[in-house]
Amino acid sequence: MSPTFSFRVLHTDGAARRGEMQTAHGAVQTPAFMPVGTRGAVKGMTPRDLREVGAEIILGNTYHLWLRPGDGLIAGLGGLHRFTGWDGPILTDSGGFQAFSLGAKRVMTEEGIRFRSHLDGSEHLLTPEGATDIQARLGPDIAMVLDECLAQPAPLATVRESTERSARWARRCRDRFLALREFGAGELRLDSETAESRAPSPESLVPSPESRPHVTNPGQAQFGIIQGGTVPELRTLSVERTLAIGFEAYAIGGLSVGEPADIMYSVVGHTAPQLPADRPRYLMGVGTPLDIVEAVSRGVDLFDCVMPTRNARNGQLFTSVGRLTIKNAKYADDGGPLDPACPCYTCRTHSRAYLRHLFVSGEVGAAVLNTIHNLRFYLDTMARVRQAIVFGTLETLRQSLQAMFSRPLSDS
């Protein structure tokens, strides 16, 4: 691991781990949930709000920040931490998923992903080296490799081909990352033999002086991503290929894309135990509170999902007794708090009647107050998960979350 990145397991309960991840911008207690700040902001929240609800690490999105305002501009202003005012740990994704899902006229080749910007139609090429350079400029504490995102379901041969390509891209990302780490902000030179043997376009490995990547955060760590769809053999193949390259830690990608929950749990249960016990394991894009505790019980440590923030803006709230739809007429004159068991600012200060009024009136404050509550609910749930692992009671917590979040909406 890098000098600034480390992980240690403090307690276990079955396969579940209570740990601490150290990054260049501080420690994260795991299992941890990472609120998603797509464009350099968690929608509706200031960094002060994020601290108050208990966030320790947030996500940024490489695709969006690269296209606007630009990785060069952010690097020039001191990097993502200074630019956003969030001084805690930050993880950025590689941008592949958004280039894949948002980019128009997208073409995937061995070189990378060629697409037109969803903002202005301009043409871009996102390569493994490019995704690594952009993240070097943005300066998060954790950068992700560029992987190929596959629409599911796909034929077995296609999943295999994609898994193999993701492994080749992971190698190119790591080579680039190590070259940047070695040379830092200085001259970037790569061994020509390495470049030729590993990359299909050696010239893309050696940027011209004017485009030489600036390394904003020398303590950055890089995570590899395990792919392989829902095919256990391909997941194992991807684990072998990715571990052979060697990263600070590993993520499980390509899940939470519409597959049934039991399939997702089974792929996680198959994959997580094959990852090194002394590194954090990150399940990308997951999920509901129940999904999270199910994955924790299979050995996962890190999560991110837009669900608490997006649902908050849609008036869908997570509470200690299940889900709640704030626009329902029955809350029109309800003077009680959103969730009597929640200590967040929203629940301490406002009534359901007021929150419903803000929501049906389209007030900006509805999104702010609902997001404060939903994130606090998620982050408090993670604190309960960590405590349950220490006390050996995770299964009891899992059962109570299952009872609460697998039933239909209580008030719809």
**Can you give the binding site for Zn ion, defined by CB under 5 A?**
342, 344, 346-347, 373
Q: Phi, psi at residue 142, to the nearest 5°?
A: -130, 125
Beta carbon nearer to Zn ion, 63 or 377: 377
106 or 310, CB closer to Zn ion?
Answer: 310
Minimum gap (Å) between residue 377 Cβ and Zn ion: 6
Per the residue annotation, which of 147, 291, 304, 339 is the catalytic one? 304
Q: Which of 24, 85, 84, 88 is nearest to 58 (CA)?
A: 88
CB-nearer residue toward Zn ion: 94 or 346? 346
Minimum Å distance from CB 31 to Zn ion? 21
Pairwise CA distance, residues 112 & 114, whole Å: 7
DSSP string, 239-299: HHHHHHH--SEEEE-S-SSS--HHHHHHHHHHHGGGS-TTS-EEETT---HHHHHHHHTTT
CB of 346 to Zn ion, least distance (A): 5
Contact 344, 372 (CB under 8 A): yes
Backbone phi, psi, residue 226, to 5°: -85, 125
The tokens describing 49, both together, are 């709000």
Q: Where are the beta strands (DSSP E) in 49-184?
A: 58-60, 90-92, 104-108, 113-116, 123-126, 142-144
Residue of 76, 29, 75, 38 lying closest to 58 (CA atoms) = 38
Closest CB to Zn ion among 136 and 347?
A: 347
What is the DSSP annotation of 145-170?
A: -------SS--HHHHHHHHHHHHHHH
Indicate the residue among 103 and 308 with the shorter CB distance to Zn ion. Answer: 308
Q: Which listed residue (13, 71, 93, 339) is catalytic?
A: 93
Q: CA-CA distance, 94 to 131, in Å (whole number)? A: 6
For tokens 């990608």, the residue is: 253
Q: Give min distance, CB of 360 to Zn ion, in A.
A: 19
C-beta of 373 vs 386, nearer to Zn ion: 373
Task: Say if CB 312 and CB 53 are below 8 A apart.
Answer: no
93 is catalytic: yes
Report the first-to-last Cα separation within the chain, whole angstroms.
49
Q: How far is the CB of 317 from Zn ion (least distance, A)?
A: 8
Cβ distance to Zn ion smaller for residue 146 or 342: 342
Strands 302-304 and 221-226: unpaired
Cβ 372 to Zn ion shortest distance, Å: 7
Contact call for residues 402 and 57 (beta carbons, < 8 A): no
Q: How far is the CB of 385 from Zn ion (least distance, A)?
A: 18
Check if 304 is active-site.
Answer: yes
Catalytic residue numbers, as ranges: 93, 304
